[in-house]
Structure 1
Amino acid sequence: MLYNYRTVYEYGCQEIEIKRSKFIGHAKPVMSEEEAIDFIQSIKEKHKNATHNVYAYILGDRDEIQRYSDDGEPSGTAGVPVLNVIKSEGLKNTAVVVTRYFGGILLGASGLIRAYVKGAKLGIEAAKIVEKILFKSLYVTIDYTILGTVQNDLLKNNFIIKNIDYTDKVILNVYVPFVDKEKFVKYIVDLTNSRSVVKEGGDIYLYKKDDKYLE
């Protein structure tokens, strides 16, 4: 299991015209080969009148699965360039399709490569590159008397307070990077002088973009 990696956040689509041919870049996060194939088929169905639907995808913790297709374009001018864009961005679990509607002007091998690279980059840009980070949801139970101290210190140290429940005690639901959960427990024990109880919740991935977290 990867604790963090670069990927895209959501489906994105953007188009560009190059010498009268229209290139449409599509990108989407995928977690399995079946999901990648379904995504590619959906684009092909939507653009079934297109001249080409070139695709590439990378899957796995170690990029074990890498597939691409030129979809009728000259070998090496389409699928590989799209795959290389995904690699150059350091993305995992990402599928990209570049749709082409031929405009009547031949681009040549180098022109095709540049066009498909541009289309792939536009699709990825529209899908938003993010860092996907594994967090542990922790529940910190404390007395009301130390709530202000604990809450302020958590915020000062950039911990994510997801929720606060007010019962006979105060329960703070805090998202902590998975790799730091043991250090966090020690930190809370020290901060509260052992006047706290920490319980583990589930694991959750958050997406970080420009120093902001998205779920």
Structure 2
Amino acid sequence: MEIKSCTVYRGGQGEIIEKKSRFIAVIEPAASEDEALMVLERLRKKYWDASHHCYAYIIGQKNSLMRCSDDGEPAQTAGRPILDVLTGASLHNVIAVVIRYFGGTLLGTGGLVRAYSRAAQEGLAQSVIIEKKPGCQLTISCDYTDMGKIQYLLAQNEIPTLDSVYTDTVTLHVLFPLDRFPSLKADIMEAAGGRPVFSEPLTVTYANVDGEVLILDKEI
């Protein structure tokens, strides 16, 4: 089974009220532990008068570093539930901080777990989360007579054309999902009689953001 790899494209903030306690969840991207700790310190200063600043962060594509803190709440009632929300969403390079203003009523361990989980989920709901996918970026050069067949196959398979250049031939800049490239290349070559010329594919990581294709980097 393919393991999803997601990250925060744009952070967000959510809030819930539980028995007069206010829980503010802030989600932000963090590419390193230093970045995560800088976010935490900034939020501690901003919400200096809060009762607790509980958090969790995950650094590294393979979750090489995971940390969480209950910040004075009963053990396993805050940091761990926040971390579970992040791992459940397959997120990497992210920090979630949930700030609590105590409302005067004790919630109990079960109530705290539910409140911190709900707050973190609300923060994620207000963020833009993207799924990172492996792909290959390349050009296809073809004659005008073959262009329609190729564009039809690309459209049928929802393969994005990043750019098109029209000279004496047509050059299409295309992004294929890595696992589908060999079979789709074979289909295109068959449909166009073996005439299209494919450039050397460049391995990239990409994501779909608001209906647009975003190239994240040139190496996976």
In the superposition, the TM-score normalised over structure 2's length comes to: 0.84
Residue 64 of structure 1 deviates from its aligned partner by 2.3
The structural deviation recorded for 1:130 is 3.5
Query: Counterpart of 1:27?
Result: 27
Q: Offset at 1:190?
A: 2.1
Corresponding position of 1:44: 44
User: Could you say which residue in structure 2 is the equivalent of 1:186?
Assistant: 186
Aligned-pair CA distance for 1:101: 1.7
In the aligned structure 2, how far is the partner of 1:77 from the partner of 1:4? 27
Q: How does 1:113-132 map to 2 (within 5 A)?
A: 113-132=113-132
Q: CA deviation at 1:178?
A: 2.2
Which amino acid counterpart does residue 5 of structure 2 have in structure 1?
Y
| Paired position in structure 2 for 1:109 | 109
* TM-score (structure 1 length as normaliser): 0.86
Give 1:71's aligned amino acid: D
CA distance in 2, matches of 1:4, 1:117: 21
Alpha-carbon distance in 2 for matches of 1:144, 1:47: 62
CA 1:43/1:72 → structure 2, altered by over 3 Å: closer, same or farther? same
Tell me if structure 2 keeps the 8 A contact 1:25–1:120: yes
Q: CA separation of 1:31/1:190 partners in 2, compared to 1, >3 Å: closer, same or farther? A: farther
Greater mean deviation of Cα atoms: 167-176 or 82-91? 82-91
Amino acid across the alignment from 2:205: Y
Secondary structure, counterpart of 1:173 in structure 2: strand
Paired amino acid for 2:109: A
Q: Structure 1 residues 113, 33: CA separation in 2 closer, same or farther (over 3 Å shift)? A: same
Query: Across the two proteins, how many residue pairs are aligned to each other?
Result: 213
Q: 1:185, 1:10 → 2: CA distance?
A: 34
Instruction: Choose 4-13 or 92-101, whichever is displaced more.
Output: 4-13
For residues 94-142 of structure 1, give each alpha carbon's deviation from its aligned partner in whole angstroms, at most 9, with x where no partner exists. Answer: 3211111222222222221111111111111212444221222111111
Change (3 A) 1:3 1:68: closer
Segments of 5+ residues of structure 1 without an aligned counterpart are none
Q: Which residue number in structure 2 is paired with residue 170 of structure 1?
A: 170
Structure 2 stretches lacking a partner, 5+ long? 215-220
The sequence identity of aligned pairs, in percent, is 37
Contact 2:25 2:123 survives alignment (8 Å): yes
Task: Give the CA deviation at 1:157.
Answer: 1.6
1:99, 1:202 → 2: CA distance? 43
